[in-house]
Amino acid sequence: MPGLATSNFRLHNSEQFVEAFSEAANTSMYLFIGGTSPYPAGADDTGNYPTPINDTANIEYIPWRDAIAAKRIQASDITNGIRRLDWATGTVYDIYDHTDATLSDQDFYVITEEYNVYKCLSNNYGAASTSKPTGTGSSEITLADNYIWKYMYTVSTSDALKFVTRDYIPVKTDDTISAAAIDGAIHFIKKTSGGSGYFQGNTTVTIVGDGTGATASPVISGGALTQVTISNKGTGYTYAEAVITGVGTGAVAIPIISPKNGHGDDAVKELYGTYVLLNARLAGSESSTIPTSNDYRKLGLIRDPFLYGTSSIAYGSNYRATYRYTFPTAPTANYLADELVTATVDGVTTTATVIEWDSASKYLYTTKPIPKDITTSSAIVGANSTASGTANSINTPGLQPYTGDILYIENRGKITRTADQIEDIKLIIEF
């Protein structure tokens, strides 16, 4: 049986995801980083990074084994987003059309260098735009090139710094514009056929529909209808026809009705804000919880993980995901970053990857050991360094491995960390 998950369904999911961060019983979402070992077959250099695999092993277990740290995403770090469409002179923009089933894929809005966002209500019947829209008032803006634009909102400076990318921008409703929106108004009538035999002065256009107050006038040239001008937008329309009367025949025009509650009432819905933009900044070691002496290639999102050794959801700002082994005396050599270390635990060989060796403090940081946790009675041996030593104390990670839900995984190019470095990480998720 035919069915359709509408764009409203996608929008609902994206908005629910964003709202979950600010609700009273809010979601505890963490950005995790990991994957210090190089990709296989030179992918680090070629950019041919492996595609994440959506099976239980790769979304429930392996990310935890690769993780080195996690930082919480706050409500201020997430917003709905839309495609970035920069206004450029000479471009033919699409128009808002309530009958266009592909509108979400059309270029019917723009952002200017002032970070103002405008919706295109008329493109002068397919002509190029040559006048940049300006202004932030609630009325439509008609320009010299006969384009009609509707100001929607302005991206704030703080949001621009946090969320704007080359391809996406944040979307938010302007309360003033929303309050002035007219429900069911007709801002434009689209001529689809000019017909023939018409005369200016004895041709009329009458708007017939379930709203009230809309009036329009025809423009005739060479016996054909060339356009219809709106003299009163009316209100309350959900259905409308343009009835053309006169001596001519064949002219057809379609009234374009505003979205429910009017243009600008809900910018997120009207501009198809089904993308979610997240931003996380990693500043240095983040209070000694994020290693600065190694790199990473993988990142993702974990929802509602537990604190280590408990069934309580973690709400702290950031956590190490590594195990720290403290040695009473120096091992036989220095451990090497990214090398595999082994230990025999209960007769079973356990392995882990070295994230960091702090020779001054005699701290060894590793990923989660597999299959057993290393104990203070197990010699830890480096595969490449041949270093060997036994820890007398073990610090566990801040988060309990394999808890919560991993919602997103991404493989990127190698990101090398330093103590004075700030990484501004932006994630774009499409619903």
Judge if 273 and 418 occupy the same domain: yes
135 contacts 117 by C-beta, under 8 angstroms? no
Judge if 406 and 305 occupy the same domain: yes
Query: pLDDT for 211-237, tens place per residue?
Result: 999 999 999 999 999 999 999 999 999
32 contacts 301 by C-beta, under 8 angstroms? yes
Judge if 283 and 430 occupy the same domain: yes
- ω into 371 cis (within 30 of 0): yes
Judge if 386 and 338 occupy the same domain: yes
* Residue 240 pLDDT: 98
**E strand map for 258-377:** 275-283, 295-303, 318-320, 323-326, 340-345, 348-358, 363-366
Q: What is the CATH number of the domain that holds 16?
A: 2.60.340.10
* Residue 44 pLDDT: 72
Judge if 332 and 356 occupy the same domain: yes
The pLDDT confidence band at residue 43, using thresholds 50, 70 and 90, is confident
Query: pLDDT for 137-177, tens place per residue?
Result: 999 999 999 999 999 999 999 999 999 999 999 999 999 99
Judge if 97 and 144 occupy the same domain: yes
Alpha helices by DSSP H, listed for 2-110, are: 7-19, 43-46, 56, 62-66
Stronger pLDDT, 39 or 384, i.e. the higher one: 384
Question: Which residues touch 162 (CB under 8 Å, ≥6 apart)?
Answer: 77, 279
How far, CA to CA in Å, does 111 sit from each of 100, 120, 276, 321, 382? Answer: 22, 11, 18, 41, 55
Judge if 66 and 4 occupy the same domain: yes
Judge if 221 and 365 occupy the same domain: no
Which residue among 235, 265, 295 closes a domain? Answer: 265
How far, CA to CA in Å, does 39 sit from each of 43, 46, 116? Answer: 6, 10, 42
The pLDDT confidence band at residue 38, using thresholds 50, 70 and 90, is confident
* Residue 24 pLDDT: 81
Question: Which residues touch 304 (CB under 8 Å, ≥6 apart)?
Answer: 27, 28, 29, 313, 403, 404, 405
**Residue 100 structural domain:** 82-158+166-182+261-265
Judge if 305 and 428 occupy the same domain: yes
Judge if 354 and 365 occupy the same domain: yes
φ, ψ for residue 65 (rounded to 5)? -75, -25
What's the number of domains the chain is made of?
4
Judge if 295 and 426 occupy the same domain: yes
Q: Give which of 415, 423, 100, 427 is closest to 257, Cα–Cα.
A: 100
Judge if 18 and 94 occupy the same domain: no
> For the whole model, what pTM was predicted?
0.90
Question: Which residues touch 62 (CB under 8 Å, ≥6 apart)?
Answer: none
Rg (CA), the chain: 30
* Residue 39 pLDDT: 86
Amino acid (one-letter) located at 305? P
* Residue 220 pLDDT: 96
Alpha helices by DSSP H, listed for 195-277, are: 267-270
Which residue among 236, 257, 278 closes a domain? Answer: 257
